[in-house]
Chain A
Amino acid sequence: MELVEAIILSVLAASTPLLIAATGELVTERSGVLNLGVEGMMIVGAACGFGGAWLSGSIIVGALCGILAGAALSLIFALMTLGLAVNQVATGLALTILGIGLSGLIGARFVGERISTAPHLHIPGLSDIPLVGRILFGEDAFVYLSIALIIGVWWFLYRTRAGLVLRACGDNHVSAHALGYPVLRIRLLAVLFGGACAGLAGAYLPLAYTPFFIPGMTAGRGWIALALVVFSSWRPARLVIGAYLFGAVTILQLHAQGAGIGIPSQFMSALPYLATVIVLVLLSRTRTGGSTAPAALGTVFVPDR
């Protein structure tokens, strides 16, 4: 029982950064913009998040630094793709390359330092309930925040007028523009939200997951978050399932390595990446009746005046 509880706790922790980053990217893509720079924004978010927390001694300041860093990078992306109508795929790749370099530069002076990670909630009584107590009432604040975030995004997209307009921009930017909606401004906000989420997701890693920063610590999580958005068919509810599924794969392979089942550790480490490929293939195949992706995803829009 102890082990099951420990596994579920670690699955939640491993899933949270994926969920936060993918939630942001889901909103960005729903507005019709494909930002492939999630990995770059996450890794800079991790470096800035750790730096902020280490210098100030506050996890909240660290998280804010991560959010700001992610949003700042996504602003560059927005200027390029929305302002200059540059190809979104190429710009996203540029953002990742730049982000990896920047994070190394920013994080260099923090390598080897340690902080105490974000505290876990403790409600006397509730958190002590056997088995479910710690899982439901003993997480760190980021876990609850990630769940609130995805519920908020679901509510926004499907229950508000602004969400409907955002989806309209993603499905047909010409019509949305003809109806008088400021397509580029809406997309700018969606890109910034995506960047802020990616920055926060990156900051989660050194602030809550491990108490230190190492270069390249995101290890492809940004790319997996992108795959999760495809996995979810751009729907928030499925995104939650996908994120926890991937968190589970990550943790199970770690436990399998620990248990020493005789398979080389590198093969187990490759599992989350292989799983991503397999899931993308299966999902794309079983989908019938056309794609569920936002129709204008990844296309350039220059308003016709």
Chain B
Amino acid sequence: MQLVLEKRAERSQTIALISPLIAIGLTIVTMSLLFVILGKNPLAALDAYSIAPLTDSYSLQEIAVKATPLVMIAIGLSLCYLANAWNIGAEGQFLIGAVAGSWIAVKTQGTEAGHWVLPAMLLAGAAAGALYALIPALCRVKFGASEILTSLMLVYVADLLLDYLVRGPWRDPAGFNFPTTAEFDPVATVPVLIEGGRLHLGAIIALLVVAGAFIVLGRTIKGFEIRVVGAAPRAARFGGFNADQLILLTFAVSGALAGLAGIIEVAGPVGHLQPGISPGYGFTAIIVAFLGRLNPVGILIAGLFLALTFIGGEQAQITMKIPLDVTKVFQGILLFYVLACDSLILYRFRLISASRQVHRGAG
């Protein structure tokens, strides 16, 4: 008897719908085991991770705040991945967007600058993110260099540039030598939606991005081209679609969205530029994109779910002294299960007896 993988005649629609749920279920089982190994009560831990954050309004707002950058970045990444272009440097594009937008905030600080400041910052963030993402895309299209490695290398470069700026030229003179800029002026801050709350305009922008992606992918020729180039490159060539152009386009769009998310994060919840503005949003967004099956609505749901794990992780650290790294383990395991379950959409398992195998091998 042997277990073999067999290609299905066509995609299984049922499994396509339930596979993310199976993946989440398997992740919960695995995490329970991990909690037992760590000597924690698994039920209490799971409660802290998934139920507790949903029970008070502060945490609910905080989930939306955390989901905002995740969803925006993941939407961009999903376009890349659909076109079979591997942008994994969204973290760097996020940071560069934050830096570029902050430049305007820092330069206009304490001046009479009016309400044009915030829109200019958002534009600058998106433009810088797009340009930064175009570096690996151009290296791939013009020179054939692996965009996976170049986009990833540029994350470290962006991180160091941000570090230099907030420790050097942009450091707040009144900041007791902490590596941070001064708090942004009110005109350079993303407004909150509910007075006194944390939920800000960025959440609305994220929803608009989801709606935009939904329309582009489902209703436009460009969206169709993106999906064909990724799913059937040969057919796309016969169809006259320009794959190189699509790589540049999807990288630029995903870079712009990551950069926009970066400046919104800095001008919104954080309020100033400092190192460590991202707890790895750019990498977690990769999980969001896959968990949401590269579909805009799916990504919105997946983004909220992973934001929940961030908040849950913080709560579990405070109430149960569970290390913050457990959140990353959780996210990694989740991605594994998502990918494994997705495999069952295209393939199925079959038990084959040895004799049958020989027979079929001979025939």
Chain A positions within 8 Å of B, measured between CB atoms, are: 36, 76, 80, 83-87, 89-91, 93-95, 97-105, 108, 215, 219-220, 223, 226-227, 230, 264, 266-267, 269-270, 273-274, 276-277, 280-285, 287, 291, 302-303, 305
Contacts and interface: CB of A to CB of B under 8 A. Distances in A.
A58 to B, nearest CB: 25
Contact of A86 (B7, B331, B342): B342
Contact of B332 (A86, A98, A277): A98
Interface in B121-172: 135-136, 139, 142-146, 148-150, 152-154, 156-157, 160-161, 163-164, 167-168
Nearest to B2: A305
A215 B280 CA distance: 15
Interface string B271-299: 00000000000011011001000000000
Contacts of B157: 270, 273-274
A99 B331 CA distance: 11
Nearest to B333: A98
Nearest to B167: A266
B347 interface: yes
A100 B154 contact: no
Contact of A98 (B156, B168, B336): B336
Given A86-B342, A95-B332, A98-B328, 4 more contacts: A90-B290, A91-B339, A280-B150, A284-B139
B153 A266 contact: no
A284 B144 contact: yes
Contacts of A97: 283-284, 286-287, 328, 331-332, 335
9 tightest A-B CB contacts, nearest first: A98-B332, A101-B328, A104-B325, A101-B329, A266-B164, A94-B335, A280-B145, A97-B332, A266-B160
11 contacts: A85-B347, A89-B148, A90-B290, A97-B287, A102-B325, A220-B153, A220-B156, A274-B153, A277-B154, A302-B7, A303-B4
B164 A273 contact: no
Give the interface size bracket for B toward A.
35 or more
A221 B329 CA distance: 21
Nearest to B158: A270
A36 B148 contact: yes
B149 A285 contact: no
- Which of B4, B286, B328, B331 has the largest count of A CB atoms less than 10 A from its CB? B328
B240 interface: no
A266 to B, nearest CB: 4
B164 A267 contact: yes
Contacts of A266: 160-161, 163-164, 167
A293 to B, nearest CB: 10
A223 B139 CA distance: 17
Contacts of B163: 266
B287 A273 contact: no
Contacts of A283: 145
Contact of B143 (A99, A226, A285): A285
A213 to B, nearest CB: 14
A84 B326 CA distance: 26
A105 B323 CA distance: 7
Contact of A230 (B149, B154, B326): B149
B216 interface: no
Contacts of B286: 90, 93, 97
A305 B361 contact: yes
A111 B49 CA distance: 26
B156 A104 contact: no
Interface string B97-140: 00000000000000000000000000000000000000110010
Contact of A94 (B5, B154, B325, B336): B336
Contacts of A282: 143
